[in-house]
Chain A
Amino acid sequence: MTNLMTGAEMVIRALRDQGVETIFGYPGGAVLPIYDALFHQDFIKHVLVRHEQGAAHAAEGFARSSGKAGVLLVTSGPGATNAVTGLTDALMDSIPLVCITGQVPTHLIGSDAFQECDTVGITRHCTKHNYLVRQIEDLPRVLHEAFYVAQNGRPGPVVVDIPKDVQFAIGAYIGPRNIEHKTYRPKLDGDPGRVARAVALMAAARRPVFYTGGGVINSGPEASRLLRELVSITRFPLTSTLMGLGAYPASGKSWLGMLGMHGTYEANNAMHDCDLMIAVGARFDDRITGRLDAFSPGSKKIHIDIDPSSINKNVKIDLGIVGDCTHVLRQLIEVFRAKGVLINADALTKWWAQIGKWRARKSLSFKNAKDVIKPQYAVQRLYELTKARDTYITTEVGQHQMWAAQHYHFEAPNRWLTSGGLGTMGYGLPAAIGAQMAHPGALVIDIAGEASILMNMQELSTAAQYRLPVKIFILNNEYMGMVRQWQELLHEGRYSQSYTAALPDFVKLAEAFGAHGIRCSDPALLDDAIMEMIETPKTVIFDCVVDKTENCLPMIPSGKAHNEMLLPGDDEAIEAAIDAAGKMLV
């Protein structure tokens, strides 16, 4: 058996040895040798996207829904720069990606050659790590290291930039087992002393709340299982970030709903009034904290995170535990079980009673209508008609994303794929393609807005080519709804450039791409139309014509605290919601 092969063959071999079966990509001059190596094998399936940004988001969707690393293969220059948005998205949301980029031959680097760009320079700030492989001897090690770095510790995107001459060069391949990273060894177990202190704080807490994030999902399904176990031991209320939805089931007794800017009244008030906050795999993003100097002023804060830099970054933490969520949650449960630590049941009963009062405000309620589809109602019906199925939901970014987060309820991790940190319009369709590739039999729905879907709609062609039955459920209000909402709140209703005056006919658009198009604008016909979408065994664009002026509530206006929420029906408050200082914020 010979280990000698070309660099291009090494790429394919390394992918195979890493267990990769699906990659997303787009060919070009500087990756032709790798595409040639791809041609000579049939183990790895390549999905031809229509734009490299689509490849990156599809790889993210694949990764997020399967728990494996997503892989994309793009060419030099524009191939690499087009992938940058997707790489940044993956960095912000901690999604493991390996992005292989072609590069001009080493002797041309720095000469402003055709389709040359400084890929490692450009992607240095939007990757967890990146490599330019200048010699064939380094290639196998770098490829395996890339997978290690992408998937271990806090996951993230890794770029491997391979000049064309290195792809042609012949060298000796080394398998993944012989690769060990010199320096990068994340700490998985929490410090036992700190775990014990955390349990002591939890036992003494009178008004505790779990605040969990995407880190629980990144840690794997076992972390979600352990989280549920710990919550059932303690009976503490739990809220989650946008990225963490599904780690704890929405039907669970302790579930308060999502927190943050568009979170529920009960979740945000519980965060504000708690005396102990247990943050698990969450990062105190500004969409979560609201006004920092009024963020949960009376609480002790425990923060469990694999990334030490997350702890004390935005908010001062009393007890930081660096470790993987799965490990630390298990450690916490072990201490609870071993010591039989009791929680403060009386105080907890009172706390739940208080939470019940907040819940009674029904902050997600909305006024339904007979003559027009309310977007919230559309998501509710979609949920009711798909919940019993094997469903994955992706979204674009904006109002529809928040309505989906509020009104679609998740029972399991890895079922909800959304662009949280970067807020990338155009994420949902390619992510749905990635999720469908990972789960061919599942029902994959992109809950979209009519503006977002236009950002990456070229991927409809990809969906058509691979006969992927993804469903694109567009809440069409003809506006960039969230922009419109902010213009209403902040700029006296001057709707500058947020109305789309020339939208395509989405039904005809579907037909043009060989997909099925459905339009519905009547609430009475909505259920049947949704069923038609579900039962059509091909790509479907559902143009759901909704109320154009509906606002996404509840809302913490920018610059305000958790207990200063705008609730539905609070029209006067909405008028006066944001002061000059808040206007400066995003």
Chain B
Amino acid sequence: MNAPAAPLSPYSSALGKSNIEVHTLSVLVDNEPGVLARVVGLFSGRGYNIESLTVAEVAHAEHLSRITIVTAGPPQAIEQIGHQLERLVPIHKVTDLTLRGNAVERELAMIKVAGKGTDRDEALRLAEAFRARVIDASIESFVFELTGAVGKIDQFIDLMRPIGLVEVSRTGVAAMSRGPNPM
């Protein structure tokens, strides 16, 4: 009795299927209680991904905070995330830095490595190659501070693993568009 299957519409939603993209969003918000909960709650409530999130006040007098969110999803979902964020009342501005193209993205990590003898030499040599700084040292450990793109930090951590990686603390990505204009 059922009608033959209709041809697939080109308008169907591609949510959750293929072509996953990673985008970095900059969000300027009023620095008021609960604003971060609103942003995070939006992502969890609507089933969006958060790969990384950083937040700090950037203009004290104006009570403005800047949130940088790295998210992954199909383009339609990314567009929807932007609009959903814009809908939140204390949000001033949302910019998709990935869409705008060629933004600078940096992350800071602290990496604790423990070991003795040649392992220490190797750790220091690699740290120098990566331009990581030693911010704490003891007879059997270092804490390195490394700033860079996400991939660079991932790579450094991988190299430290066999040497004696103890723990890692990362800030998540901060990002900004290139050129003279603001977000």
**Interface set of A (CB-CB < 8 Å, partner B):** 120-121, 124-125, 128-129, 132, 149, 154, 181-184, 292-297, 301, 307-309, 311-316, 560-561, 563-564, 570, 572-573, 576
Q: A296-B9, A312-B76, A315-B13 are in contact. Are A132 and B89 (CB under 8 A)?
A: no
Asked whether, in the complex, the Cβ of A293 is within 8 Å of the Cβ of B86, the reply is no
**Interface set of B (CB-CB < 8 Å, partner A):** 1-3, 5-13, 30, 33-34, 37-38, 41, 45, 76, 79-80, 83-84, 86-92
Asked whether, in the complex, the Cβ of A183 is within 8 Å of the Cβ of B89, the reply is yes
Asked whether, in the complex, the Cβ of B13 is within 8 Å of the Cβ of A308, the reply is no
Asked whether, in the complex, the Cβ of B12 is within 8 Å of the Cβ of A184, the reply is no
26 A-B pairs with CB atoms under 8 Å apart are A121-B34, A121-B37, A125-B41, A129-B90, A132-B33, A182-B92, A183-B30, A183-B89, A292-B13, A293-B13, A294-B5, A294-B6, A294-B12, A295-B11, A297-B8, A309-B83, A311-B83, A312-B76, A312-B80, A313-B80, A316-B11, A560-B2, A561-B3, A563-B3, A563-B6, A572-B1
Partner of A183, one of B3, B8, B80, B92: B92
Residues of chain A within 8 A (CB-CB) of B34 are 120-121, 124, 132
Separation of A121 and B6 alpha carbons in the complex (Å):
45
Q: A183-B30, A308-B83 are in contact. Are A295 and B90 (CB under 8 A)?
A: no
Asked whether, in the complex, the Cβ of A564 is within 8 Å of the Cβ of B8, the reply is no
Q: A124-B37, A149-B89, A313-B80 are in contact. Are A564 and B3 (CB under 8 A)?
A: yes
Asked whether, in the complex, the Cβ of B11 is within 8 Å of the Cβ of A297, the reply is yes
Residues of chain B within 8 A (CB-CB) of A312 are 76, 79-80
Nearest chain A CB to B75's CB is how many angstroms away? Answer: 10
Main DSSP-derived SS at the A contact region: loop
Nearest chain B CB to A265's CB is how many angstroms away? Answer: 13
Separation of A149 and B91 alpha carbons in the complex (Å):
13
Asked whether, in the complex, the Cβ of A293 is within 8 Å of the Cβ of B1, the reply is no
Nearest chain A CB to B104's CB is how many angstroms away? Answer: 26
Asked whether, in the complex, the Cβ of B86 is within 8 Å of the Cβ of A309, the reply is yes
Asked whether, in the complex, the Cβ of A296 is within 8 Å of the Cβ of B11, the reply is yes
Residues of chain A within 8 A (CB-CB) of B83 are 307-309, 311
Residues of chain B within 8 A (CB-CB) of A307 are 83, 87
Asked whether, in the complex, the Cβ of B6 is within 8 Å of the Cβ of A561, the reply is yes
Partner of A295, one of B5, B9, B91: B9
Nearest chain B CB to A574's CB is how many angstroms away? Answer: 9
Asked whether, in the complex, the Cβ of B11 is within 8 Å of the Cβ of A573, the reply is no
Asked whether, in the complex, the Cβ of A128 is within 8 Å of the Cβ of B13, the reply is no
Nearest chain A CB to B36's CB is how many angstroms away? Answer: 11
Q: A124-B37, A182-B30, A564-B3 are in contact. Are A293 and B80 (CB under 8 A)?
A: no
Please give me the residue from chain B that is nearest to A322 by CB atom: B83
Residues of chain A within 8 A (CB-CB) of B8 are 293-294, 297
Nearest chain B CB to A33's CB is how many angstroms away? Answer: 23
Further contacts, 17 of them, CB under 8 A, given A307-B87, A316-B76: A121-B34, A124-B34, A128-B89, A129-B89, A292-B12, A293-B8, A294-B5, A294-B8, A294-B12, A301-B11, A308-B86, A312-B76, A315-B11, A561-B3, A564-B3, A570-B1, A572-B1
Asked whether, in the complex, the Cβ of B89 is within 8 Å of the Cβ of A309, the reply is no
Nearest chain B CB to A283's CB is how many angstroms away? Answer: 13
Please give me the residue from chain A that is nearest to B90 by CB atom: A183
Asked whether, in the complex, the Cβ of A124 is within 8 Å of the Cβ of B11, the reply is no
Q: A182-B30, A293-B9, A294-B6 are in contact. Are A124 and B41 (CB under 8 A)?
A: yes
Separation of A319 and B90 alpha carbons in the complex (Å):
28
Separation of A309 and B80 alpha carbons in the complex (Å):
6
Please give me the residue from chain B that is nearest to A130 by CB atom: B34
The residue among B7, B37, B76, B83 with the most chain A CB atoms within 10 A of its own CB is B83
Separation of A307 and B89 alpha carbons in the complex (Å):
13
Please give me the residue from chain B that is nearest to A308 by CB atom: B83
Residues of chain B within 8 A (CB-CB) of A573 are 1-2
Separation of A279 and B5 alpha carbons in the complex (Å):
25
Residues of chain B within 8 A (CB-CB) of A308 are 83, 86-87
Separation of A560 and B2 alpha carbons in the complex (Å):
9
Nearest chain B CB to A323's CB is how many angstroms away? Answer: 14
The residue among A294, A295, A576 with the most chain B CB atoms within 10 A of its own CB is A294
Nearest chain B CB to A479's CB is how many angstroms away? Answer: 26
Asked whether, in the complex, the Cβ of B11 is within 8 Å of the Cβ of A309, the reply is no
Residues of chain A within 8 A (CB-CB) of B6 are 294, 297, 561, 563
Q: Which 8 A-B pairs have the closest CB atoms?
A: A309-B83, A293-B12, A297-B9, A129-B89, A294-B6, A316-B11, A573-B1, A308-B83
Residues of chain B within 8 A (CB-CB) of A182 are 30, 92
Nearest chain B CB to A570's CB is how many angstroms away? Answer: 8
Please give me the residue from chain B that is nearest to A145 by CB atom: B89
Residues of chain B within 8 A (CB-CB) of A314 are 13
Please give me the residue from chain A that is nearest to B34 by CB atom: A120
Separation of A292 and B15 alpha carbons in the complex (Å):
11
Residues of chain B within 8 A (CB-CB) of A301 are 11
Asked whether, in the complex, the Cβ of A576 is within 8 Å of the Cβ of B1, the reply is yes
Residues of chain B within 8 A (CB-CB) of A181 are 89
Nearest chain B CB to A234's CB is how many angstroms away? Answer: 23
